[in-house]
Amino acid sequence: MGLMYYLQEGIMKKYHVQITSHACPESHSFLRQAQDERHRRVSRLTVFMLIAHCSLLLFISSCGKKLPPVAPESVVPEPVKELKVVSRDSKLLIRFVKPSKNVDGSKITDLAGFRIMRRVIDDKGCRGCPEKFPVVYDIDISYPKDAIVEGDRIAFPDNDLTPGTRYEYKVVTYNKDGYEGPEAQRVIFTWGVPTGKPQNLSARAGDKAVDLSWTPLETLVDGSPDKELAGYNIYRREDGGRFPLDPINSAPVKETSFSDLGLTNGRAYLYTVRALIQVNESLIEGASSDEITVTPKETVIEVP
C-alpha cells in the first residue's frame, strides 16, 4: 500500500516537472490530458492492488477459524478387520483384528490407537437427521487399558448399556499424527438382561474325553423367568491358564449335557458353562457356572 502511494506520487511529480518545464502554452493542454489519463491508470492499479491485498488477508485469517489438517489418503491405516460385537460372561465385547498395513499397502509404523463409536438406534427418531456417532472409548495402542489383547486380536468391554436398546457400533483407526483411517463395516447389537449362572455342573472322566451335565436354567439374573433361552456355551481351560473368549462348542448347545472329545489322558481340565438368551438378532451370554476340574484317563478293560 505504501509502495503504491510513493510510486503514484513519483509519477505525478515527474509529469509536473515536465509540464512546468515547457514554455509553450499550446502543449500545456495536451500534457495535462496525458497527466490525467496516467493518473487514472495509476489510481485503478492502486485500487486493484488494495482489493487483492484485502482478499488475501481474508483468505489467510478466515475469521480466525482453522480447518482440520487433511491427511494424504495413502498414509492412513487400513480399517480394522473382523469387527464383531459379542456377549461374554454377562458383558458385551467389541472385538476386532488390528490392521498391519496402510491403505496404500505399506507397512504400518505409526499406528496409535482405535476410536470406538456408538449410537442408539431409535426407530421413532428423526428421519433424515444426520447420524450422531459419539466416541465412547479411545484405545491407546501403547497402553490399552481395560482392553483384552491377544496378539493382533483386541476385545474391549462396553459396560454402559441399557436392556432393550439397539446399538450400532463403528471403529476407526488413527495414526500418531491423529489422522483417521476408513471405518470398518458397522455392526448392530441389541442388549438385554443376561441369565444367571447354571447350577449343579458335574463331570465324568473318560478315555481322552469328558462328559458334562448341568441343571436347566429357568431365570435371568434379575430373577425374572427365562423365556428366550437359546442354549449354552461351554468353556475349557487347563490348570494355570485362563478361559478363552470363544467357547469350545461351535453352536449353542441345546441340551443340558455335552461330551468333550480328543483330550489328553492324565491332564487336568477345568470347565464352566454359560447360558444364552436371544434378543432380536443378538445372543446374550449370562454368568459362568461354578468351575469343575476333571482329568481324563485311559480305560482299562480286564479280560477274565
Same fold, 73-190 and 202-294: yes
Q: What is the pLDDT of residues 248-276, one digit of tens each?
A: 999 999 999 999 999 999 999 999 999 99
pLDDT at 5: 43
Instruction: Give the residue, 210 or 43, on which the prediction is more confident.
Output: 210
Find the angle CA(122)-CA(196)-CA(258) to the nearest 5 degrees: 110
pTM: 0.71
The domain at 73-190 falls in which architecture? Sandwich (2.60)
Which numeric CATH code is attached to 202-294?
2.60.40.10
Distances in Å between the Cα of 166 and the Cα atoms of 173, 211, 285, 286 are 24, 38, 16, 18
Q: What is the pLDDT of residues 89-132, one digit of tens each?
A: 999 999 999 999 999 999 999 999 999 999 999 876 556 566 78
- pLDDT over 60 at 41, yes or no: no
For the chain, the structural domain boundaries read 2-64, 73-190, 202-294
Distance of CA 10 to the CA centre of its chain: 65
Q: What is the pLDDT of residues 216-246, one digit of tens each?
A: 988 787 777 777 899 999 999 998 899 999 9
Phi then psi for residue 32, to 5 deg, are -65, -40
Range name among 12-16, 159-163, 285-289 with the lowest pLDDT average: 12-16
Instruction: Give the residue, 63 or 252, on which the prediction is more confident.
Output: 252
pLDDT at 131: 75
